[in-house]
Amino acid sequence: MPNLFAYFMLFVWPLITWQLFKRYPATKAAIGAVIWGYLLLPERPNLNFPVIPNINKSIVPSLAVLIVYHYVKKNEIFMARRAARHEAALAPVAEKTGEGVASPIAKKRQAFLLKKPRTKVRLMLILATVFLLISPVITYLTNRAPIVDGLTYLPGIRPYDVAAYTRNLACLLLPFFVGLKLVTDRQGQIWLLRTIVFGGLLYTVAILIEIRMSPQLSTWIYGFFAHDFRQHYRNGGWRPIVFLAHGLRVGIFMSMAVLAAATLARASDNGKSRLRWLLVSLWLLVALYLSKNTGALLITVLLLPILLVGSRGMQAVMAGIIAALVLCYPIVRGTNLVPTETVAETIAPYAPERAASLEFRLRNEDELLAHANLKPLAGWGGWGRNLLFNPETGKPSTITDGIWIIIIGQYGWIGYLSLFGFICLPVILCAFSYRKLRLDTIDIGMMVVMAANMIDLIPNSSLVAPIWLLSGALWVRYDQARQTEMASHLSPRERRLYHKRDADFDIAPDVPAKPTRKKGRLNRPAVTS
């Protein structure tokens, strides 16, 4: 049972977010509020109210950021208009004569030019959001009848459930919209990677404490343990959980921190900075090893050498292949192209417990995927309808682990492709055209960090705030790079208009133009560094 301090932290976090926005730039404050909220807030308090979303750790940081940012922007607009009115009041003569005052037609033309263009990326995101949010409606239309099997009785989906499913899916996307709205420039991407690294450094202290004293920090501070205590005793020692839902989430976050530090080391422009980030990455890797997360450690060991010594092309192609495989994993899994038995037999001589756990998971996936294929379009919905039950006892005979089998069982292929499209598509699109878009080390490093998360989503359900922030930032970066590449083929006049329209996208206005001749003289445009 959570103590009063757990509820206090949950409700005081919007005030902390407000103070962050007052002290730091909006991008830095938003990233800090979401990442630190994910790492420090208690997992257990979950206030369930009718109509409104559940008040818990998953929604409070991102919702607070969006509300505070909206208020800050609205206040900035108000102050700008107030300053404009004050400036107009100081120039009564110009206002009376009409000098320097634009006509209504000119004002409308200027507003049109400064309006954000509706790019293909924005249209893709709008379509994905629409399909994701209407998938519960199709689920309701195909699941109104109850399920009766022996002692098992599962009610049909009601219209109220449709609203609840849509609300939950919309809340799941809140960190994505934070990244899409606020992590819009290179400095924001660096802040995001650094915040993940600093969060990993803080967690190394907690990991060392819980390795020695057992996973007790959440119990000592917030008064509860977030999961099954028996699952966190591994190989004669303890697997830390800190303030997250499971020790596995600690492992994948530490993996993200290791890869983020390696990305910053690769992108450093001097030897001291590069050495410092490499040492940080090594320390985080040691903490990951001590945390007894075999899966996250294997993912890190697989990707870290390629991130440190591989070319950008190799990194981009590898991240794109991983993203494509994850997006198509249910198809590959259903056609038995994954050698599951071979993998389990290979692991068995070295780690019998891990092999038995993997075999159990794979058997569950086979049964659940066969059940999901009975309603492939929109799934079975909630109330445990996506699970299998023992008709004699009425208890579940299967357990869902991977987020992919949960989503495809509840919302079908519509929900799965829409939800995983937010995560996988930016990596795939950037990988296929990384050279044309001129992506650099930071961009491709973020893709590799995303790829590590995608691999972890196959056996686990760690679809959490950091991966959504990275996804939103990558979508913005792809949109910016694509528009910059398109602008390089325009004439000088079209380029000026294009950059004026896309000023809010932070697109580099220094794309070199082709030399032009005017009045017999060669005019070369100036290129700024």
Average pLDDT, the chain: 83
pLDDT of residue 506: 42
**pLDDT score of 505 more than 70:** no
**pLDDT score of 513 more than 60:** no
pLDDT of residue 490: 54
pLDDT of residue 73: 81
Average pLDDT (509-513) is 41
Average pLDDT (93-108) is 50
Average pLDDT (326-352) is 76
Q: Of the ranges 90-104, 315-329, 364-378, which is most confident?
A: 315-329
**H or E stretch including 351?**
none
Q: Give the number of other CB atoms < 10 A from CB of residue 85.
A: 9
Average pLDDT (126-144) is 90
Cα-Cα-Cα-Cα torsion 18, 19, 23, 26, nearest 10 degrees, comes to -20
Secondary structure in 3-state letters for 428-461? HHHHHCHHHHCCCHHHHHHHHHHHHHHHHHCCCC
Name the residue with higher pLDDT: 182 or 501: 182
CA dist list (Å): 159 to 140, 143, 165, 380, 529:
7, 11, 10, 15, 58
**pLDDT classification of 1: cutoffs 50, 70, 90:** confident
**pLDDT score of 165 more than 60:** yes
Q: What percent of the chain has pLDDT over 90?
A: 43
User: 252-272 burial by CB neighbour count: b if 16+ within 10 A, else e?
Assistant: bbbbbbbbbbbbbbbbbeeee
**pLDDT classification of 465: cutoffs 50, 70, 90:** very high
Q: Which of helix, strand or coil describes residue 223?
A: coil
475-499 per-position pLDDT tens digit = 999 988 888 777 666 556 555 555 5
Name the residue with higher pLDDT: 12 or 390: 12
**Half-sphere exposure of residue 271, counting CA atoms within 13 Å on the CB side?**
0
pLDDT of residue 444: 93
Strand bridging mode 152-154 / 147-149: antiparallel
pLDDT of residue 484: 77
**pLDDT score of 528 more than 50:** no
pLDDT of residue 91: 56
**pLDDT score of 193 more than 90:** yes
407-456 per-position pLDDT tens digit = 999 999 999 999 999 999 999 999 988 888 888 899 999 999 999 999 99
Among 148, 146, 152, 143, residue whose Cα is nearest residue 396: 152
**pLDDT score of 104 more than 80:** no
